[in-house]
Amino acid sequence: IFEDADADGSGTLSFEEVEEAITKPEIYNKLRMIEFPVDNPKQIFDLLDYDDSGELTIDEFITGCLRMKGQAKSKDLLLAQVALDCMKRHYSAFEKELGALQGKLNRLDATARAITDHGERVFLDM
């Protein structure tokens, strides 16, 4: 199936190649035989493109096919896993940014205290 869909022979599948492949009866029928959901090509491509590269490797395709084969329940679980992984990446980036902001706040607090202390000394020296 992968080789048949790889129209340009690059060894990877673009979304366009997947979309085109699903319209071919021989590929469509093979996918249906393994109970692979073909109802939403974009969603399926995004689920299979685990590394968000915009292309599917043979490993991503095979792993995704094995995971998505069968009932919609498997597809839903994979969708939830992909969403969870995406949230985890965003949370990590947020946590890193929050740490940087905390450092800036600490430096700002120290600067404000130093200015206040200096101002008090100047005022008392008058």
Q: What percent of the chain has pLDDT over 70?
A: 94
For position 73, what pLDDT does the model report?
61
Tallying the residues shown for the chain, one arrives at 126
Q: List pLDDT tens digits, range 68-98.
A: 665 556 667 777 788 888 899 899 999 999 9
Confidence of residue 61 (pLDDT cuts 50, 70, 90): confident
Per-residue model confidence (pLDDT) at position 105: 97
Q: What is the pTM of this model?
A: 0.52
For residues 77 and 64, the answer to whether their CB atoms sit within 8 Å is no
On average, the pLDDT of the chain sits at 86
The SS3 of residue 13 is strand
- Structure confidence at residue 112 (pLDDT): 96
The count of domains in the chain is 1
Query: Is position 17 within any domain?
Result: yes
Examine residue 2 and state whether it is found in any structural domain, yes or no: yes
Structural domain includes residue 117? no
Q: How far apart are CA 68 and CA 18, in angstroms?
A: 15
Give the Cα separation of 55 and 18 in Å (integer): 10
What are the residues whose beta carbons fall under 8 Å from the beta carbon of 10, sequence distance 6 or more? 55
- Taking the C-alpha atoms of residue 77 and residue 35, their distance in angstroms, rounded to an integer, is 16
Domain that holds residue 47: 1-70
Q: Which residue has the tokens 């020296």?
A: 125
Mean pLDDT of 6-10: 93
